[in-house]
Homo-oligomer: A and B are copies of this chain.
Amino acid sequence: MADTSRTWTAALLVIGDEILSGRTQDKNVAQVAAWLNVQGIRLKEVRVVADDEAAIVEAVNILRARNDYLFTTGGIGPTHDDITVDAIAAALGVGVVIHPEARAILDGYYATRGGLNEARLRMARVPEGADLIPNRMSGAPGIKIGNIFIMAGVPAITAGMLDALTGTLEGGLPVLSVTVGCWVPESEIADLLRKTEKDHEGVAIGSYPFFREGRVGANFVIRATDPDLLETCAAALSAGLVATGREAVPGGI
């Protein structure tokens, strides 16, 4: 259901003190971004905020208004620091209710795991009017309300929720990419990069330098939605690198 008449955008809000304290290395930005590309949706901006209601409310209301979709990760567990549901309900100006289906899911999940207690029941709480996102990893579901998708913070659980959403969101054409690598300081071929991008409208070229094996190199990532344009541009860039006496490495280094 690709609607190519416009660009579809999403924002991601990562919620959690553990990311801002440096204790936990976030992995959800990269996986949500990669998944969105395949859905034909561009990840336009990311914010990371603490487990703080005012901060969550502010970010949710700005990001949901200016993007087609808003995804959140983190803060939907059973403990006192999990305040995402309450904060998003506050942002939307709705109450928080126990979702009967979520309660049934948790009842089943915890039947052999010590039963559903008060803390676990917290994970059945949703902003009023919300639907559920299946969780194939552990009991507690994600939540969908309006254009907001509320997901877990644990990356493996987030991955399962994304998988459950695959193909259900309206988007445009997927962004494709081709990488060309070269053992060259990017500063020596900056003009070639600029000219190649300019010569191929609809293409963006990113330059990502690295130091490896005591040598300087860079990968040039060409992005476009049109596969033919992408190939033409990659061929032009490779030819340009070869013309300067260097080797272009298809697929990158």
Specify which chain B residues have a CB less than 8 angstroms from the CB of A46 in the assembled complex. Answer: 14, 19-20, 46-48
A24-B208, A154-B209, A208-B18 given as contacts; is B30 within 8 A of A80 (CB)? no
Chain B CB within 8 A of A239 CB: no
Complexed CA–CA distance, A217 and B131 (Å): 29
A20-B33, A21-B43, A204-B17 given as contacts; is B77 within 8 A of A209 (CB)? yes
Complexed CA–CA distance, A81 and B198 (Å): 12
A194 CB to closest chain B CB (Å) equals 4
Per-residue CB proximity of A128-170 to B under 8 Å, as 1/0?
Answer: 0000000000100000000000000010100000000000000
> Do A81 and B26 have beta carbons less than 8 Å apart?
no
Say how many copies of this protein the assembly contains. Answer: 2
Chain B CB within 8 A of A99 CB: no
Interface residues of chain A: helix, strand, loop or mixed (majority): mixed
Q: Can you name the residue of chain B whose Cβ is closest to the Cβ of A208? A: B18
Specify which chain B residues have a CB less than 8 angstroms from the CB of A42 in the assembled complex. Answer: 20
Contact of A119 among B29, B118, B191 (CB under 8 A): B191
Specify which chain B residues have a CB less than 8 angstroms from the CB of A206 in the assembled complex. Answer: 17-18, 21, 23, 51, 81
A162 CB to closest chain B CB (Å) equals 12
Identify the 5 closest CB pairs spanning chains A and B, nearest first. A22-B33, A119-B190, A22-B34, A78-B187, A46-B48
